[in-house]
Amino acid sequence: MLNDIRPEQVLFLDVETVPQFPEYTDVPDQKKKFWDHKASFLMKSEHDSPASLYERAGIYSEFGKIVCISSAFIKPADGKREIFVKSFFGHNETDLLSSFYDVLCKLESSGSRWYLCAHNGKEFDFPYISRRMLVNGIPVPGILDPRGKWQKEIQLLDTMELWKFGDYKNFVSLDLLADIFGIPSPKDDMDGSQVYGVYYRDKNLQRIMEYCQKDVITLAQVFLKFKGEKLLDEAQMRMV
């Protein structure tokens, strides 16, 4: 399948999420009841509690929200390639997702067959975006929705799945793949575990966006390696 897909047909994306409320004490009572039930399955020691585990709420689409989607696409330029990176970020999730929805609709109406690619995307990024779109009253574009489609019709690519080669027990991070392939690490400033603190305590959404952009560039570079193609250098990167 991968042999038939050109990098120029792929929109690469990465998502950053946080809990919907700054602290456990801010969660409305009705929602708190549901989080308490969820947290009961996450507790591993007597020191764990719904409050202490609340920082992890952002990874669950029922309790979290998206604060940044970084996207990237590759196109030819003067005999070489350039990668264009655009981020959709902000405190208003509805506005953010509406803007990203418009992009996906343009891809669908372009007349070309496009694919979406993320690392661990089939387990996290793609369903998370889809669920949050529904929560915000935004229809899920067909390119993002695999339900009812034959395998060959699905336009979702997952670099973690591609790396498995059919192995169901192997989890590998994007950072590890970058290291294996000699690609600069996207975790040179922060990692995913710090997003909650950077958003709610430091109030530094710009830093989260820049981190997300590094991840999506790394994702595209890993995809090029999967294709056996040359990596892009910094001079070929464009922020839009």
Give pLDDT tens digits for 204-221: 999 999 999 999 999 999
Query: Quick check: is 53 in a domain?
Result: no
Domain span including residue 101: 2-20+63-239
Element (H, E) at 35: helix 29-40
Per the CB < 8 A criterion, the answer to whether 114 and 107 are in contact is: yes
Q: Which DSSP state fits 34?
A: H
Q: Return the pLDDT at 186.
A: 67
| Interatomic CA distance for residues 203 and 211, integer angstroms | 14
Task: Convert the pLDDT of each residue in 50-62 to its tens digit.
Answer: 999 999 999 999 9
Per the CB < 8 A criterion, the answer to whether 140 and 133 are in contact is: yes
Query: Quick check: is 32 in a domain?
Result: no
Task: Convert the pLDDT of each residue in 144-182 to its tens digit.
Answer: 999 888 888 889 999 999 999 888 877 899 999 999 999
Per the CB < 8 A criterion, the answer to whether 4 and 35 are in contact is: no
Per the CB < 8 A criterion, the answer to whether 146 and 40 are in contact is: no
Query: Quick check: is 26 in a domain?
Result: no
| Interatomic CA distance for residues 144 and 53, integer angstroms | 30
Query: Quick check: is 51 in a domain?
Result: no
| Interatomic CA distance for residues 89 and 105, integer angstroms | 19
CATH at 100: 3.30.420.10
| Total structural domains within the chain | 1
